[in-house]
Structure 1
Amino acid sequence: MGRKTMRGALVLTEEQRAMLTKLAGSRTVPVREVERSKVLLGYASGASISEVMRREGVGRPLIYRYIDKALAKGVEAGLKDAGHRPRAPEITDEAKAWVVNVACTQPKDHGLAAELWTLRALAGFISEHAEAAGYPRLSPASKSTVWRILNEQHLKPHKIRYDLERRDPEFERKREEVLRVHRDVSIDKAEAVHDGRPRAIYTVGIDEKPGVQALGVTAPDLPPVPKKEPTVSRDYEYVRHGTVSILAGIDLHSGHLFGHVEDRHRSIEFIGLLQEMDAYYPPEATIRLVLDHHSAHILKETNAFIATRPDRFEYVHTPKHGSWLNLIECVFSKMARTFLRHIRVKSVEELKTRLLKGIKEMNEALVVVRWKKFDMGIV
Structure 2
Amino acid sequence: MWCIPAEGDAHFVCQMESVLEVYKRPLDPLNPVVCMDETTVQCIKEVRAPIAARPGETERYDVEYERNGVAHLLLFYAPFENWRRIQVADNHAACEWAEGVRRLVEEDYSNANKITLVMDNLNTHSGASFYKAFTPEHARRLLNKLEFVYTPKHGSWLNMAECEFSVLSRQCLARRLSDSEKVANEITVWTRSRNQNTAPVDWRFSTEDARIKLKRLYPNLLS
Q: Does 1:255 align with 2:76?
A: no
**Are the equivalent residues in 2 in contact too, given 1:288–1:316 (CA < 8 A)?**
yes
Which residue in 1 is equivalent to 2:164? Answer: 331
Displacement of 1:349? 2.6
Residue from 171, 182, 197 that aligns with 1:365: 197
**Are the equivalent residues in 2 in contact too, given 1:241–1:348 (CA < 8 A)?**
no
Displacement of 1:293? 0.6
Q: Does 1:189 align with 2:18?
A: no
AA aligned opposite 2:51: L
The aligned runs of 1:103-122 (5 Å cut-off) are none
Which residue in 1 is equivalent to 2:38? Answer: 208
**Are the equivalent residues in 2 in contact too, given 1:190–1:253 (CA < 8 A)?**
no
The aligned runs of 1:291-306 (5 Å cut-off) are 291-298=119-126, 300-302=128-130, 306=139
With structure 1 as the length reference, what TM-score do the two structures score? 0.49
With structure 2 as the length reference, what TM-score do the two structures score? 0.80
Which residue in 1 is equivalent to 2:99? Answer: 272
Which has the higher Rg, Structure 1 or Structure 2?
1
Q: Which has the higher helix share?
A: 1
Residue from 11, 28, 31 that aligns with 1:170: 11
Which residue in 2 is equivalent to 1:224? Answer: 53
Displacement of 1:165? 5.5
Matched position secondary structure for 2:32: strand
Q: Which has the higher strand share?
A: 2
Q: How many residues align?
A: 201
Percent identity of equivalent pairs: 26
Displacement of 1:169? 5.2
Shift in CA distance, 376/276, structure 1 to aligned 2, threshold 3 Å: same
Residue from 54, 57, 66 that aligns with 1:239: 66
Unmatched tracts of structure 1, length 5 or more: 1-162, 192-199
User: Comparing 266-275 with 359-368, which one deviates more in the overlay?
Assistant: 359-368
**Are the equivalent residues in 2 in contact too, given 1:255–1:368 (CA < 8 A)?**
yes
AA aligned opposite 1:205: C
The aligned runs of 1:280-291 (5 Å cut-off) are 280-291=108-119
**Are the equivalent residues in 1 in contact too, given 2:78–2:84 (CA < 8 A)?**
yes
Residue from 115, 120, 145 that aligns with 1:312: 145
**Are the equivalent residues in 1 in contact too, given 2:88–2:180 (CA < 8 A)?**
no
Unmatched tracts of structure 2, length 5 or more: 213-223
Matched position secondary structure for 1:355: helix
**Are the equivalent residues in 1 in contact too, given 2:35–2:117 (CA < 8 A)?**
yes
